[in-house]
Chains A and B, each alone.
Chain A
Amino acid sequence: MLQGRDEMTESEVIVMILKGNQDKYRILVEKYQTMVFRTCIGFLHNKDDADDLSQEVFIQAYQSLNKFKGESAFATWIYRIAVNASLNKVRRNSRSPIFNRLNSLLVTGNEREISVPAFDNEDPENILIRLEKSKWIQNALDTLPENQRTAIVLSKYDDLSQKEIAEIMNTTEGAVEALMQRAKTNLRIKLSTSYKKNR
């Protein structure tokens, strides 16, 4: 349970928001923004897109807060919203790749770059190599089936346990374990294949 700045529990905060004290939502945003952002970047691999999507996730959660019954933890609930929003965004992007490419060119003036933080005084060649490797890993992740990809993102990016992933995905721990195994096998095959191609 969240012990906020006012020593309030999470459910108390939610009740206050529902009563009209909208500013209390800030407590939930500050607490969960990093985890929502990590989920989004795990699916989208772009900082700006992940920022925008995180914003949408919190707005959607705020608008549906009256539907939150407290049957699961707020974290589980908001993770579900973040996963669904990310999957929808990925589906939209894959449906209109040409439009997205044109849009990114028009909006930013050049093709959107994959987000990899640059280290101070890093050699430009190293940055390029790292970018290439990032694309290679991200392409392998992106070709996984949706449920395997969700399990991998929640495990690797959000560092969640199988139990937590099972709650978010509304399935059993055994099913998540099987899903993770299949995802890792698929990832190993995809990574090895593309590694040999790019060598």
Chain B
Amino acid sequence: MNCQICQQESEKYREEKLSGDLKIQVEAHLQQCAECAESYRIHSTADSIINQERAILPANDLTERIMDRIEKLEDTGNKNSKPFLRVLQPVLIITSMAAAIFIGVLIGNIYKPTGTVISRPVELSLIDDATIESVDILSNE
């Protein structure tokens, strides 16, 4: 038996799926070949580590935790799925915003400024600012 065949068959050998002549040949090769023997040891260790991880069981309360979460999901789902609430919520928001704008405009129109109002003489409004010469130009002359 050569190394390639030994490597191919070693997995079955580790899993005790080999029998008869092939098993004897693999065993003989593993005793002679240091490289294949080392590879066999490495893979046996890997198999045992994987088996140890496989032996770990899920938490005892995993089912309960899942069912609790599903119950909560259903509760929230039911609350959200009440049709009148689904329609009412946006309607209420839009109505309250419209009411706020309407009241704002109403108060703005009702408001009349009281107290001292600075009155501007009519002549002032007739002055055309564009025709007034710049002070800088005057000072340069």
Contacts from A to B (Cβ < 8 Å): 22-23, 25-26, 29-30, 33-34, 37-38, 41-42, 45, 47, 50-51, 54-55, 58-59, 62-63, 115-117, 130, 133-134, 137-138, 140, 156-157, 184, 187-188, 191-192, 195
Per-position 1/0 for B31-45, Cβ under 8 A of A: 000000011001101
Contact residue among A54, A62, A191, A195 (Cβ-Cβ distance under 8 Å from B58): A54
Instruction: Count how many pairs of residues, one from A and one from B, have CB atoms less than 8 Å apart in the complex.
Output: 90
Distance of A54 Cα from B58 Cα, bound (Å): 9
CB distance from A187 to the nearest CB of B (A): 7
Distance of A137 Cα from B55 Cα, bound (Å): 16
Chain B residues whose CB sits within 8 angstroms of the CB of A59 once the complex forms: 66, 69-70, 73
CB–CB A191/B70 < 8 A = no
Chain A residues whose CB sits within 8 angstroms of the CB of B69 once the complex forms: 55, 59
Contact residue among A29, A47, A195 (Cβ-Cβ distance under 8 Å from B63): A29
20 extra interface residue pairs, beta carbon distance < 8 Å, beyond A41-B56, A188-B43: A23-B67, A25-B66, A26-B63, A29-B62, A29-B66, A34-B58, A47-B59, A55-B62, A55-B66, A55-B69, A59-B73, A117-B56, A133-B49, A134-B53, A156-B54, A157-B53, A157-B54, A184-B11, A192-B38, A195-B38
Distance of A59 Cα from B76 Cα, bound (Å): 14
Distance of A118 Cα from B55 Cα, bound (Å): 11
CB–CB B53/A41 < 8 A = yes
CB distance from A18 to the nearest CB of B (A): 13
CB–CB B74/A22 < 8 A = yes
CB distance from A142 to the nearest CB of B (A): 13
Distance of A54 Cα from B64 Cα, bound (Å): 13
Chain B residues whose CB sits within 8 angstroms of the CB of A29 once the complex forms: 62-63, 66-67
CB–CB B63/A30 < 8 A = yes
- Interface: B50 (CB within 8 A): yes
Distance of A58 Cα from B42 Cα, bound (Å): 36
CB–CB A22/B71 < 8 A = yes
CB–CB A58/B66 < 8 A = yes
Distance of A59 Cα from B66 Cα, bound (Å): 7
CB distance from B100 to the nearest CB of A (A): 38
Closest-by-CB residue of B relative to A135 is B49
A-B contact pairs, 21 of them (CB 8 A): A25-B67, A29-B63, A29-B67, A33-B58, A33-B62, A37-B62, A42-B53, A47-B56, A47-B59, A54-B58, A55-B62, A59-B69, A59-B70, A59-B73, A62-B70, A116-B49, A117-B55, A156-B54, A188-B7, A195-B38, A195-B42
Closest-by-CB residue of A relative to B63 is A29
Chain A residues whose CB sits within 8 angstroms of the CB of B52 once the complex forms: 116-117, 130, 134
- Interface: B57 (CB within 8 A): yes
